[in-house]
Amino acid sequence: MDSNERQQFKDSVVGMFDRAAPIYGQVGIQQFSYFGSWLVEKLDVPAGAKVLDVATGRGAILFPLAEKAGASGHVLGIDLAPTMVTETAAEITRRGLTQAEVRMMDGDAVDFLPERFDLITCGFALHFLDYEHTLPKLRSMLKAGGRFAVITPFVPRDENLARWKWLFELTRAVFPEGFVPPSAWIAPNKISTPELIGAALRDAGFSNVGTEEHTTTLYFRDEDDWWDWEWSQGSRFWLEGMSPEGLERFKRESFEHLRAMQTADGIPSTMGVVMALGYK
């Protein structure tokens, strides 16, 4: 990607997340806070830790980190979408957290002093960064022995895939034949396996790199709950790219499938992450 293409990519990603920010993580299933809390529990963050959370969004990782780091620690979240930053700053104030801070900053342009952080985290966003260049810079900002931890989404290869196959087919069907999705829409595929994400960390110089997959099943209340959620996160890329007729068809046919999937617990969705952890 040349620098013009990189800028277009960034504008498209940040623009979409900025429009989603008021409802991001606030409607439908709460997979970001579920996986953020899961990651922080795994990391056993000590009180007093100095942490950077790259592409913090609405703080799915930042808030559990702040709780573990405690008043003697410091957790800094950065994000390039202005509305993510203002919403998260308001939540930090509302919770009265003195150890948490959020700033508007490009994750690819971080320029903190070397050896400043004990831990750097990044959830559901490394694929939006120019990570081949950025990961070595992040590594340099860790203290010796410091850790870098990332979670990245993957689609579980189980009956869930069969359950939601219609969604992939319908999404494809509402776009014109031969349509190629922009790279921002399909960026997560770049590092969606333990092999790919592990290699990215090792190439950046991290040692003792380990990976782990984790899945969970969460339930939408009903089809309206799912629809609100679709607009609140990455799938919004696809919705915003549909023609008015395509979007109308997509919603109508999706609702028919979703009604057929309804159970007493709601509409099940099995979601997964790959977690990778590396040391400086």
Ligand X SMILES: C[S@@+](CC[C@H](N)C(=O)[O-])C[C@H]1O[C@@H](n2cnc3c(N)ncnc32)[C@H](O)[C@@H]1O
Q: Which parts of this chain interact with ligand X (CB under 6 A)?
A: 10, 13-14, 17, 25, 32, 36, 55-57, 60-61, 78-81, 84, 106-108, 123-125, 128-129, 234
Q: CB of residue 211 vs ligand X: minimum separation in angstroms?
A: 18
- For 177, phi then psi, to 5°, come to -60, 140
Rounded CA separation 82/97 (Å): 20
**Region of residue 251 (phi > 0: left; psi between -120 and 50: alpha; otherwise: beta):** alpha
Cβ closest to ligand X, residue 57 vs residue 146? 57
Cβ closest to ligand X, residue 13 vs residue 120? 13
Q: CB of residue 243 vs ligand X: minimum separation in angstroms?
A: 25
Length of the chain: 280
Amino acid at 202: R
Cβ closest to ligand X, residue 7 vs residue 217? 7
Cβ closest to ligand X, residue 45 vs residue 125? 125
- For 148, phi then psi, to 5°, come to -120, 125
Q: CB of residue 101 vs ligand X: minimum separation in angstroms?
A: 15
| Residue of minimal Cβ distance to ligand X | 57
Q: CB of residue 81 vs ligand X: minimum separation in angstroms?
A: 3
Q: CB of residue 104 vs ligand X: minimum separation in angstroms?
A: 8
Cβ closest to ligand X, residue 25 vs residue 246? 25
Nearest to 208 by CA among 266, 122, 278: 278
Q: CB of residue 177 vs ligand X: minimum separation in angstroms?
A: 30
Cβ closest to ligand X, residue 149 vs residue 246? 149
Q: Where are the alpha helices (DSSP H) in the chain?
A: 3-20, 31-43, 62-69, 82-95, 131-140, 159-163, 165-173, 183-186, 194-203, 223-230, 236-241, 244-261
Cβ closest to ligand X, residue 124 vs residue 246? 124
List the 267-279 sheet strands across, edge first.
100-104, 74-79, 50-54, 117-123, 142-154, 267-279, 207-220
Q: CB of residue 70 vs ligand X: minimum separation in angstroms?
A: 21
Q: CB of residue 118 vs ligand X: minimum separation in angstroms?
A: 19
Q: Which residues have C-beta within 8 Å of that of residue 21, sequence separation ≥ 6? A: 57, 58, 81, 83, 84, 87
Pairing relation of β-strands 267-279 and 207-220? antiparallel
Cβ closest to ligand X, residue 71 vs residue 186? 186
Rounded CA separation 253/202 (Å): 44
Query: 3-class SS at 6?
Result: helix
